[in-house]
């Protein structure tokens, strides 16, 4: 097991990474529960695969859970689902000493985080991420959110978990598509923040896709370390942390334009990175060769780099709801070399439209 510490202005967070950690969840939760309710929020597929392992471990540690099952995917991140969870917690008598535990991927983690940040003005939070995307990215850093029809993650808060437990063994049961979606976030880290990680992906793409245990655990740890460093430097997402949005400005717009059903988050981010790399080349930040390396690696990882069924003008309109936008002006996290980048304001909507159009259609 490896442990990473995430510093923050409030509570610090420990991230535990290793194989077989699910069977030891109870001993990790016991010190955090005290006399409060342990509210486990999960989704049907994860409930079927892993809930019993978690419950057995909690029982062994003397932790009695309240289990709440919510819809899978983006349907978890709706105001209605949020109110259902809050109502169930109230019915069960959960108080300000409650501990909310997410068991699942990024969507249920976002929901659980928002519940924990707002229920009785804030209760404690633990994430047990079961997807690659959640282990390398969304479970770390304290962001939580619900979706609005016009913008992804528009309704949200910052609320640091006290603990993240990432069992890499669970990644073996992920559908191939989910593995690829997680690798989109790893690719993002490499392209914008860590050229060595980018090189590892280029050199070992097939091993990562094949879930080689040693390589995969190293990729998860390295990604978590990058996220922890960035969060410690900019917890509230006002500066360096915005770099983690490479591919997300266009990607989130694609998700919204397709009703959160056309493309998964990782797929939309991959397409977004292809589009935003084109923006970077048109601004003279990177050369065509560097942009092509990003697109080529995304393709090797089995990710799409083109979108169907959306129009550039619709995406630009939706992007004005992006959280990085200021004064109605769009800002993007763009690479200025493989492994580094900048957040830049782009006022030339014609340039944006032309770059985005290059990744739309067949």
Span 145-193, pLDDT tens digits: 999 888 889 999 999 999 999 999 999 999 999 999 999 999 999 999 9
DSSP string covering 80-119: HHHHHHHHHHHHTT--TT-EEEEEESHHHHHHHHHHHHHG
**Residue-level pLDDT at 155:** 94
**Residue-level pLDDT at 203:** 96
193: left (phi over 0), alpha (psi -120 to 50) or beta: alpha
DSSP string covering 114-144: HHHHHGGG--EEEEEE-SHHIIIIITSS-EE
- Topology classification of domain 2-173: Rossmann fold (3.40.50)
**Residue-level pLDDT at 35:** 80
- Residue 149 CB partners (closer than 8 Å, separation 6+): 256
How far is 313 from 46, CA to CA, in rounded Å? 38
Of 322, 49, 357, nearest to 174 by C-alpha is 49
Question: Do 176-357 and 2-173 fall under one CATH topology?
Answer: no
Q: Assign 218 a pLDDT band (cuts: 50, 70, 90).
A: very high
- Residue 357 CB partners (closer than 8 Å, separation 6+): 312
Poorest-pLDDT segment among 23-32, 146-155, 200-209:
146-155
**Residue-level pLDDT at 222:** 95
Q: Assign 206 a pLDDT band (cuts: 50, 70, 90).
A: very high
pLDDT of 224 higher than 90: yes
- Cα 44-49-52 angle, rounded to 5 deg: 95
Mean pLDDT of 135-154: 91
**Residue-level pLDDT at 48:** 96
Span 265-309, pLDDT tens digits: 999 999 999 999 999 999 999 999 999 999 999 999 999 999 999
Note whether 109 and 102 are within 8 A (CB).
Answer: yes
**Residue-level pLDDT at 151:** 83
**Residue-level pLDDT at 199:** 96
Give the H or E element holding residue 360. none
Of 295, 299, 303, 289, nearest to 276 by C-alpha is 295
Q: What is the CATH number of domain 176-357?
A: 1.20.1090.10
Q: Where are the domains of the chain?
A: 2-173, 176-357
**Residue-level pLDDT at 12:** 76
Poorest-pLDDT segment among 294-298, 321-325, 330-334:
321-325
- The pair of structure tokens assigned to 300 is 């090797």
Could you give the dihedral angle defined by the CA atoms of residues 349, 286, 319 and 237, in that order, rounded to the nearest 10 degrees? -130
Q: Assign 26 a pLDDT band (cuts: 50, 70, 90).
A: very high
Span 64-119, pLDDT tens digits: 899 999 999 999 999 999 999 999 999 999 999 999 999 999 999 999 999 999 99
Of 225, 224, 265, nearest to 245 by C-alpha is 265
**Residue-level pLDDT at 245:** 94
How far is 294 from 73, CA to CA, in rounded Å? 27
**Residue-level pLDDT at 234:** 79
3-state helix, strand, coil in the chain (%, to 5): 55, 20, 25
Q: Assign 10 a pLDDT band (cuts: 50, 70, 90).
A: low
Span 231-263, pLDDT tens digits: 888 777 777 889 999 999 999 999 999 998 899
């Amino acid at each position: 097991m490896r442990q990473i510490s995430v510093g923050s202005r409030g509570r610090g967070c420990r991230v535990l990474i290793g194989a077989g950690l699910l069977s030891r969840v109870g001993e990790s939760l016991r010190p955090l529960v005290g006399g409060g309710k342990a509210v486990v929020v999960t989704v049907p597929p994860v409930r079927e695969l892993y809930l019993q392992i978690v419950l057995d471990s909690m029982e062994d540690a003397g932790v009695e859970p309240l289990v709440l099952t919510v819809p899978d995917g983006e349907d978890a991140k709706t105001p209605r689902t949020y109110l259902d969870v809050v109502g169930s917690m109230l019915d069960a008598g959960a108080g300000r000493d409650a501990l909310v535990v997410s068991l699942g991927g990024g969507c249920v983690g976002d929901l659980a985080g928002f519940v924990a940040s707002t229920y009785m003005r804030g209760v404690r939070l633990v994430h047990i991420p079961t997807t690659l995307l959640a282990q390398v990215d969304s479970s770390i850093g304290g962001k939580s959110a619900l979706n609005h029809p016009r913008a992804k993650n528009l309704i949200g808060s910052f609320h640091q978990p006290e603990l993240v437990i990432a069992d890499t063994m669970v990644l073996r049961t992920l559908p191939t598509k989910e593995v690829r979606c997680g690798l989109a976030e790893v690719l993002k880290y490499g392209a914008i923040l860590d050229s060595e990680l980018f090189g590892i992906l280029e050199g070992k793409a097939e091993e990562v896709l094949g879930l080689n245990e040693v390589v995969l655990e190293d990729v998860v740890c390295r990604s978590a370390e990058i996220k922890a460093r960035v969060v410690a430097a900019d917890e509230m997402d006002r500066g360096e942390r915005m770099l983690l949005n490479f591919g997300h400005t266009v990607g989130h717009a694609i998700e919204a334009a397709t009703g959160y059903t056309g493309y998964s988050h990782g797929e939309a981010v991959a397409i977004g990175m292809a589009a935003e790399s084109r923006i970077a080349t048109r601004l003279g930040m990177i050369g065509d060769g560097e942009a092509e390396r990003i697109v080529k690696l995304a393709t090797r990882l089995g990710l799409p780099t083109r979108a169907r069924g959306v129009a550039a003008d619709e995406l630009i309109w939706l992007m004005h709801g992006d959280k990085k936008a200021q004064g109605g002006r769009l800002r993007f996290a763009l690479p200025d070399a493989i492994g580094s980048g900048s957040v830049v304001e782009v006022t030339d909507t014609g340039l944006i439209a032309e770059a985005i159009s290059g990744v739309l259609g067949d």
